[in-house]
Amino acid sequence: MPILNGVSLDIRQGERVALIGANGAGKSTLLRCLAGLVPLSAGDVEILGETFSGSPSARQRKALRRQLGFVFQFHGLVRRTSALSNVVNGYIGQGHGMRAWHQMLAPHTVREEARAALEAVGLGEKWDARADTLSGGQSQRVAIARAIVHKPSLIIADEPAASLDPAAGSDIMTLFHRLAGARGCTLLFTSHDMNHALSYADRVIALKAGTVMLDAASSDLTPADLEPVFHGD
C-alpha cells in the first residue's frame, strides 16, 4: 500500500505553500520525497532543475543540498555541540566540506553568516550554548538558522512552529514569510495550525490518506473550508 498516491503538484518559484493534513496523512513523507530523502516507488520529482525517479544521484543530491534548506520535524541537531556549530553545519555539502564541521575550524565568513542567521531567528545571545541545553523552541530556531544560513532558493520546513509557544510560533512564521518574500525564495511548510496555513502561505494544499483533497489560494479559503481535512468527509 503506497503512502502517497496520485499526488501531482506544481509549485512555482517564490510561492509560499502550506501543506496540511491529519497525523499520518503523508505530509512529512511528501517533503522527504521531494528532497530525495525517501526513495519513490513510482513517479518522479522535478525540483530545482533536477529530475529523478527512485532516488537522486550523488551529483543531484549535492546540487539539491546547495539550493535547499530543510527544517526537519524533530530538529535533528547535533546535541553535544554549540548552537553556532550546528548552524555552521548548514554549510556542509555547500562546498565548504569538513572544514566547516566545527566553528573553530570554520572560515571567518562562515561563522559570520552563522551568527547572522542566529540573530535572524532571535538567538544571537545563545550562539555558544550547547544544543542539548536549549529548550524545544530554541532548538527549533537553531534548526531554522541552519536551514537558511546558505541562502537557499527553496525552504522546506516540516512543522516549524510545532514546538513553539503561540507568540514564538507567529514570530517564526513571520520570519519565514518575510525571508521567502524578500529573497524570492520558495517556501513549503507543513502545519497543524490552520491560522498559520491561511496567514503565512499564498496557497494551501491538503493531504488526506496520501492524496490531495484540496489545493487552493489561501485568500479563497476560510477556516471552515479546512474542517473536512481533519474530520469526516
Ligand X SMILES: Nc1ncnc2c1ncn2[C@@H]1O[C@H](COP(=O)(O)OP(=O)(O)OP(=O)(O)O)[C@@H](O)[C@H]1O
Interface residues toward Mg ion, by CB under 5 A: 27-28
In order, the DSSP letters of 71-96 are E-TT----TTSBHHHHHHGGGTTTT-
User: Could you say whether residue 3 binds ligand X (CB under 6 A)?
Assistant: yes
Q: From start to end of the chain, where are the E strands?
A: 16-20, 44-47, 50-53, 68-71, 154-157, 186-190, 203-208, 211-217
Inter-residue contact 87 to 145 (CB < 8 Å): yes
**x/- binding map, residues 46-85, to ligand X, per CB under 6 A?**
---------------------------x------------
Task: Name the binder of 40 from ligand X, Mg ion, none, CB < 5-8 A by kind.
Answer: none
Q: Comparing C-alpha atoms, which of 139, 106, 111 is closest to residue 123? A: 139
User: Could you say whether residue 169 binds ligand X (CB under 6 A)?
Assistant: no
> From CA 136, how far away is CA 75, in angstroms rounded?
9
User: Which one, 113 or 193, has the nearer CB to ligand X?
Assistant: 193
Burial class (CB in 10 A: 0-12, 13-18, 19+), 116: middle
Task: Name the binder of 24 from ligand X, Mg ion, none, CB < 5-8 A by kind.
Answer: ligand X
Of 7-15, 20-28, 40-48, 95-103, the segment contacting ligand X by CB under 6 A is 20-28
Of 19-27, 39-47, 86-94, 108-116, the segment contacting ligand X by CB under 6 A is 19-27
Number of residues that bind ligand X (CB under 6 A): 10
Which residues of this chain interact with ligand X, rule CB under 6 A?
A: 3, 21, 23-29, 73
